[in-house]
Amino acid sequence: MTIGGEQGERREKASHDSGSACAPAALRIALLGTMPPDGYSGGRYAVVMMAEALALAGHDVYLITNNRPAFLDDFAAFPGHARVHLCLTPDFSRELPEGPFDFAIYVPSTFLNKPFHYGALLFALRRRARLVLVNFESGNWFNALSPAPRDITLWDPWRQVARWAVLVLSNAKEGERWARDFYRDCRKGTKFDWCFPAINTLAADSIEECAREPRIVVFTRFAGSEHKGSRNLMDLLCPAMRGYTLVLVVGTGAVQKETLEAIRGRAAELGIGIEVKEQLSDLDKFRELKRAALVLFPSYFEGYGYPPVEAQYCDVPCIAFDLPVLREVSGERLIYARHGDWADFRSRIEEVLAGKHPRTGLREAIRASASIETEAAHLTEILHSAMGIQPPRPVLRGIHFAWWHCNARLSWTRMKTTAAGRVLRRVARLFGQGPMAR
């Protein structure tokens, strides 16, 4: 099967290789990132899926985090699940696994968590691990598409990690393209690459097929996420949806009472039912998808976009804004509205409910690229290709350790102006490597 284009050929090769994913030498890999005590985002979900894929490929995998992922049990059926070692740490400085690691994969979040940030960097240094940055979204890419641009300095910690990383790993080739322009101050030889995340096909396959119901599922988020399109949900309600139930699937953050009341009021005027589903398990999520007649994904920006892939796997049509990354992942299998044009999005809804834009064979078309076997093979290929890039030399490692240890206790501004900071920068210049040398 040809998925299309360069990325399709690469996906096809990974799919063919997945049966021998355990053949290459096993690596010792740590994934470090914070987790909320409940709920989740696509990024948190993707990193646990990455851990499962690496374990499936036969690697020794440690998931180091501050809270047990709320959705971890959803992955229990994966063959490598028992080989994912969950390490809970209160501050990323205690209760950490010992011994050397081949890779330390840094999983960033939007806002800086200083104990995690410096704890993860120091872990990589102490374990002599090659540092990898998971690039969900670079600041230039996000701000180019989001209706609510963010302060670009929010990505300063990401850039700091990229400076020392042997690999900057994006979720799609489109993400890699923007990352190459954003992370320019990297070590010599830093590799840029990408890998589609897998979906939980085991959970989806366990849900029996059923007749479609007059239900429209919309995936969104309300808390601090203007780019998810939640503020414009009422713009999607139209007379063509009369008799349907709009199901709001929310993974994290609560829906404000006033917002929900406004949506319910407008929906009642049009004869549309409203249901809110918060923090669904994978089984319940796929059960909703298999009941639905249509999926809506009104996001202005995505680093990958899980819901359209999951919708295709459940053979349900999906409408989304026309984003290059969605076209990369899904081609013409989605129904696209002009980016940010809510009237056009509403028109696509009316057309689909009138029987236009039929889609067939969605599951088979997406199956290979959405499988955990494909991700396992592709990640293994990428990491083995990065094994030739060595972590900092021993002398540099000591300098870096001192730099980050001071940073963990001082602000970055003070670190640049204090005597200790100036000395460290001068020493680093002797070696001509890393951010201190600039």
10 Å CB burial of residue 209 (0-12, 13-18, 19+) is exposed
Do residues 193 and 273 touch, judged by C-beta distance below 8 A? no
pLDDT of res. 50: 97
Residue with tokens 């001192």: 402
Which residues constitute the domain of residue 36? 5-198+374-391
286 shares its domain with 397: no
Do residues 161 and 174 touch, judged by C-beta distance below 8 A? no
Do residues 293 and 214 touch, judged by C-beta distance below 8 A? yes
276 shares its domain with 343: yes
170 shares its domain with 295: no
Locate 281 and state its tokens: 């398990």
193 shares its domain with 326: no
129/187 Cα distance (integer angstroms): 15
Burial 22-36 (b: 16+ CB within 10 A, else e): eebeebbbbbbbbbe
pLDDT of res. 155: 92
15 shares its domain with 133: yes
Neighbouring CB atoms inside 10 A of 95's CB total 11
* Domain-terminating residue out of 320, 339, 370: 370
33 shares its domain with 142: yes
Residue with tokens 């319910």: 264
145 shares its domain with 111: yes
184/25 Cα distance (integer angstroms): 31
53 shares its domain with 155: yes
427 shares its domain with 437: yes
266 shares its domain with 146: no
Beta-strand ranges (E) seen in 333-412 are 335-337
343 shares its domain with 406: no
pLDDT tens-place values along the chain, 438 residues long:
223 344 445 544 444 444 444 456 899 999 999 998 887 788 889 999 999 999 999 999 999 999 999 889 999 999 999 999 999 999 888 899 999 999 999 999 888 788 888 889 889 988 999 999 999 999 999 999 999 999 999 999 999 899 889 999 999 999 999 999 999 988 888 999 999 999 999 999 999 999 999 999 999 877 667 788 778 889 999 999 999 999 999 876 677 788 889 999 999 999 999 999 988 999 999 999 999 999 999 999 999 999 999 999 999 999 999 999 999 999 999 999 999 999 999 999 999 999 998 888 999 999 999 999 999 999 999 999 999 888 766 545 555 555 555 555 555 445 455 555 555 555 444 444 444 444
User: Which H or E run contains 392?
Assistant: none
Residue with tokens 């909703």: 288
Torsion sign across C-alpha atoms 195, 200, 205, 210? negative
Q: How do residues 185-206 score in pLDDT, each as one tens digit?
A: 888 889 999 999 999 999 999 9
pTM of the full structure: 0.86
Torsion sign across C-alpha atoms 241, 242, 244, 247? positive
Any idea what the CATH number is for the domain that residue 236 is in?
A: 3.40.50.2000
User: Which H or E run contains 402?
Assistant: helix 394-407
263 shares its domain with 331: yes
Neighbouring CB atoms inside 10 A of 274's CB total 17
31 has which bridge partners?
63, 105
Neighbouring CB atoms inside 10 A of 338's CB total 13
Residue with tokens 């690459």: 193
Please state the domain count of the chain. 3
Do residues 308 and 334 touch, judged by C-beta distance below 8 A? yes
Do residues 365 and 330 touch, judged by C-beta distance below 8 A? no
